[in-house]
Chain A
Amino acid sequence: MQISNTIATGLKDWLMGMGFSATTTEMIATAVWTLAVILFILLNLIVLVWLERKFSAFFQQRRGPNRLGPAGFLQFPVDIVKVLGKEDIIPAAADKPVFRIASITLFITAILAWAVIPLGEGMILEDLNIGIFYFIAIGSTATISLLMGGFASNNKYSLLGGMRTVAQMISYEIPMVFSLLGVIMMVGSLRLSDIVKAQEHMWFIIPQGIAFIIYFIATVAETNRGPFDLAEGEQELVAGYFTEYSGIRYAIWMIAEYGNLVAVSTIASIMFLGGWNAPFGLTFIPPFLWLLIKIYFMIFLFMWVKWTYPRIRIDHLMHFGWKFLIPVSLANILVTGVGIYIYRMITG
């Protein structure tokens, strides 16, 4: 983090020295940071897709990609080059403007969420005082993009996929927010850096274990990954809301989904796994790396679940969300509130 801060201050000093005004300097520095975050997401993507393929291969007793680069590591960049060369097919009956922007808006929401996600102490674009609230709000807008894609395609499979997405996302947004509420109550702040600071001595996964599990389940549904990938449902809906997408537009859907996956994993690490705090006093590993390790642990969990379980049926999904997750998360909030009240009574 020192390095990043040094770079940031150095950049600002240098720009000031060039004779820019304070506002311009701030703007340029923010632009550079934004670019750095986007680069981080895209570079992450190469690793993620490679990991997903290797993990799924491991679970399925095969080798996975092993031709391009070491252990098939360059498969994804080459795939991207491939999809860039594909024809951009837009169905004649589609709602063309909506069809065109649907995948891009999802990508934008995936990037926007990163504005408030810290990757280390001070390594944050904008340390908003309503950080986690902003993240949830941006995350909810992703639903609209999926719906836009599903409806604009003018395809029955896409329509069904879009319908499922809305039902699923709205239902699982609620337990996700409730599960985060417990942590926020304990910290008393919505600022993500405050939340990490509060976990210096104890990670919130210990007092908020149930909330962590609820958050995990709800985010699997939120990111449309198996076993809750009903919106794609390739067995019955071919590819769900992006059935009609091809070429780079399809790739952007996938990139955005992986971007969301990293975002929710990061939030899980920050809210429940202590962020960049080192466990057991292992401080020789830099905080940024610690966070990265935790993020990738979460991603591994997501992939493990995806490649193990069959897909759940939509009515079971709804029952599970409304009749189990929401009551349990509400009970968790109640218990947390009572606990905090008693704690304050004791400590005065």
Chain B
Amino acid sequence: MLKTQELTLNLGPHHPSTHGVFRCVLNLEGEYITKAVNHLGYLHRGIEKLAESRTYTQFIPYNGRLDYVAGMLNEWAYVMAVEKLMGITEEIPERAEYIRVIVGELQRIASHGIYFASMALDVAGASAWFYGFRDRDEVLDLLEMVSGQRLMHNYMRFGGVAADLPDGFMNKLDKLLNKLPAAIEEYEGILLGNEIFRARTVGVAPVSREMALDYGFTGPNLRASGVDTDLRRDEPYSVYDRFKFNVPVRQNGDTFDRVIVRIEEMKESIKIIRQAMEGIPEGPVMAKVPKVIKPPVGEVYSRLENAKGHLGFHIVSDGSTKPYRLRIYSPCFVNIGIFPEMAKGLHLMDAVVALASLDIVLGEIDR
């Protein structure tokens, strides 16, 4: 007696393409997905709860463990929120703001570099993977110079940054910025211009403008779906209002567009760093802040444009040295929510690529 049966495939948590410990249960008909269910929480460390038993300063390094490929931006988001709570946003020295912009944009390039690399690996372009990681590594070298650490920087402080830029940093940065455009051109050659890659990504897993807004997309994923928004331009924080840069927007919202938007953003980041290098003033890198951080009673919500989208921190203070409640709005968590909808009808091979194109980092999703 012949009969057909749907195959239930448990993708993850131990699977090469789930970018960490993401688990997804797929129903397959042949190799086409009829239903997908996300299961999150395998990397849950209770970071939000941990914050309640740490002082404000002690919590800074935990941010590097959120989105561990863009630690600097996470620290910045947290520090910015606490500064807003303390009301010292205006007192931060300009040099510190410029340094923040430089390291933040470098971190964005590193994060997008790893995105390109893992994307390449998920379409089995192992060679392209190394190109992405090569450039990311050089960026990390610079961040190591600044902060002494490659991934978990712990560089931002309330009212400024931990240390001034080291000697020779500007030279090295200049050299890297001269090299990067050519390196990004190479991405075109090895992967993005490839016929097979285009066939695998163009028109695959499209997210319409309405769908993207309904699911609460932010950041590059939203811009790939045709919504022209960027916090750096629309509600400028720090000194972003002084720089001129474009916000790359694509219309189709398919896998290919999500990749291209990020590649374009890397180019824009280079522009921003160049302008920051020219405009950086001399001066102190720390504002005068009390040794013991005791923000006044109240609450604050502050967000910035992370490499993945809007990263928001909601902090409630009861006037003590520790946050009463800290809540993180994670862009990756929001973006992964569309995966079950997106995966319906996709081929298994394309679903893996579509998942990679959302740019998820499990450290931030599970927190």
Interface residues of A (CB under 8 A from B): 56, 59-62, 156-157, 159-160, 163-164, 226-227, 229-230, 233-238, 307-316
Instruction: Given the known inter-chain contacts A62-B130, A235-B16, A236-B17, please indicate yes or no for A311 contacting B123, CB distance below 8 A.
Output: yes
Closest partner residue, chain B, to A239 (CB atom): B16
Q: A310-B123, A311-B200 are in contact. List 18 more A-B contacts (CB 8 A).
A: A59-B127, A156-B9, A157-B9, A226-B124, A229-B124, A233-B124, A235-B17, A235-B121, A235-B123, A235-B352, A236-B348, A238-B15, A310-B200, A312-B200, A313-B347, A313-B349, A314-B31, A316-B199
B194 CB–A CB distance under 8 Å: yes
B217 CB–A CB distance under 8 Å: no
Closest partner residue, chain A, to B14 (CB atom): A238
B155 CB–A CB distance under 8 Å: no
Instruction: Given the known inter-chain contacts A236-B348, A236-B349, please indicate yes or no for A309 contacting B194, CB distance below 8 A.
Output: yes
B328 to chain A, nearest CB (A): 30
Per-residue CB contact flags for chain B residues 108-133 toward chain A (1 = under 8 Å, else 0) read 00000000000011111111111100
Q: Tell whether, in the assembled complex, residue B131 and residue A61 are in contact, meaning their CB atoms are under 8 Å apart.
A: yes
B254 CB–A CB distance under 8 Å: no
| Assembly CA distance A222 to B113 (angstroms) | 34
Chain B residues with a Cβ closer than 8 Å to the other chain, count: 34
| Assembly CA distance A62 to B352 (angstroms) | 27
Q: Tell whether, in the assembled complex, residue A236 and residue B352 are in contact, meaning their CB atoms are under 8 Å apart.
A: yes
Closest partner residue, chain B, to A57 (CB atom): B130
Would you list 15 pairs from A and B whose C-beta atoms are within 8 A, ordered by A residue?
A61-B130, A61-B134, A159-B7, A227-B196, A235-B124, A236-B17, A238-B15, A309-B125, A309-B196, A310-B124, A310-B125, A310-B194, A312-B200, A315-B347, A316-B196
- Most interface-central of B120, B134, B349 (chain A CB within 10 A): B349
Q: Tell whether, in the assembled complex, residue A310 and residue B191 are in contact, meaning their CB atoms are under 8 Å apart.
A: yes
For chain B, what secondary structure do more than half of its interface residues adopt (helix, strand, loop), or is it mixed? helix
B350 CB–A CB distance under 8 Å: yes
Q: Which residues of A contact B126 (CB under 8 A)?
A: 56, 60, 307
A235 to chain B, nearest CB (A): 5
Q: Tell whether, in the assembled complex, residue A311 and residue B127 are in contact, meaning their CB atoms are under 8 Å apart.
A: no
| Assembly CA distance A311 to B352 (angstroms) | 12
B301 CB–A CB distance under 8 Å: no
Q: Tell whether, in the assembled complex, residue A314 and residue B194 are in contact, meaning their CB atoms are under 8 Å apart.
A: no
Q: Tell whether, in the assembled complex, residue A227 and residue B124 are in contact, meaning their CB atoms are under 8 Å apart.
A: yes
Q: Which of B17, B123, B127, B352 contacts A60 (CB 8 A)?
A: B127
| Assembly CA distance A233 to B197 (angstroms) | 15
B20 to chain A, nearest CB (A): 15
B222 to chain A, nearest CB (A): 26
Q: Which of B123, B127, B131, B197 contacts A56 (CB 8 A)?
A: B127
Q: Which residues of A contact B127 (CB under 8 A)?
A: 56, 59-60, 307-308
Closest partner residue, chain B, to A58 (CB atom): B127
| Assembly CA distance A99 to B134 (angstroms) | 41
Q: Tell whether, in the assembled complex, residue A312 and residue B134 are in contact, meaning their CB atoms are under 8 Å apart.
A: no
Q: Tell whether, in the assembled complex, residue B347 and residue A314 are in contact, meaning their CB atoms are under 8 Å apart.
A: yes
A86 to chain B, nearest CB (A): 19
| Assembly CA distance A227 to B194 (angstroms) | 12
